Each structure stands twice: as structure tokens, then as C-alpha cells.
Amino acid sequence: TQLLEQSPQFLSIQEGENLTVYCNSSSVFSSLQWYRQEPGEGPVLLVTVVTGGEVKKLKRLTFQFGDARKDSSLHITAAQPGDTGLYLCAGGSRYSGGGADGLTFGKGTHLIIQP
């Protein structure tokens, strides 16, 4: 059972379109991170959200942490081919007794932006 479920698993859209990807869990997390991974590289942190309801913007990317700190979303406005990659969410410590088990990663959303 995956602690963090990401959807959709794959998404291919045209340049200029908007999109939203989701990261959901039944567990409450102290924080949630979003990473982007390009082929042949390791994941790179985009943002960390720590407060329920928090919204952070990074240029055309908008990140939201759910009020209950169980879910998060990433919205991209006017997607560009450079946004192509694997988007991973990762949860911090879980309040439901997960122990000190490090970051928990979802399987990711494979995003392709076609020119």
C-alpha cells in the first residue's frame, strides 16, 4: 500500500495548457515536499509546504497543502516543454505513528509537455 498516492500517473498535454496533479494520503504529515526529476538525474526540490491550507507560488507553479495536511496539489499555468519531467511528492513525519522513517515518496506523475 502506497502511503502517498499521486495522480494522474501519466499526463501529456500541449504547450500553453494548464494542469493540476495531486498527492493524496490517509496520513497526516508534518510537511510535504515536491520534487522534479529529469531523465538521468536525481530529484530536485521545488518547494516545501508545512502549514495546512498553505499556498506557495513558484513562477507558473502553484502548490497547495490541504487543510488537514493529508494532501497536496501542484498546478502549472501555461505549461512549457521545459516543465516535462517526473513530479514527486514526499511527506515528512507522520502523526499516525510512522516513526522516524525518513521521507515517504509517492510514485510520481510523469508529465510531458508537447510543443
Partner 1 sequence: DAGVIQSPRHEVTEMGQEVTLRCKPISGHDYLFWYRQTMMRGLELLIYFNNNVPIDDSGMPEDRFSAKMPNASFSTLKIQPSEPRDSAVYFCASSLWLYTEAFFGQGTRLTVV
Which residues contact partner 1 by CB under 8 A? 2, 30-31, 33, 40-45, 48, 88, 90, 92-93, 99-108
Residue closer to partner 1 by CB (options 26, 30) is 30
For residue 50, the minimal CB distance to partner 1 (Å) is 10
Residue closer to partner 1 by CB (options 76, 90) is 90
Residue closer to partner 1 by CB (options 8, 16) is 8
Residue 20 CA to residue 11 CA, distance in Å, equals 10
For residue 21, the minimal CB distance to partner 1 (Å) is 15
C-beta neighbour count of 78 within 10 angstroms? 10
Distances (CA, A) of 16 to 48, 60, 71, 107: 26, 11, 26, 26
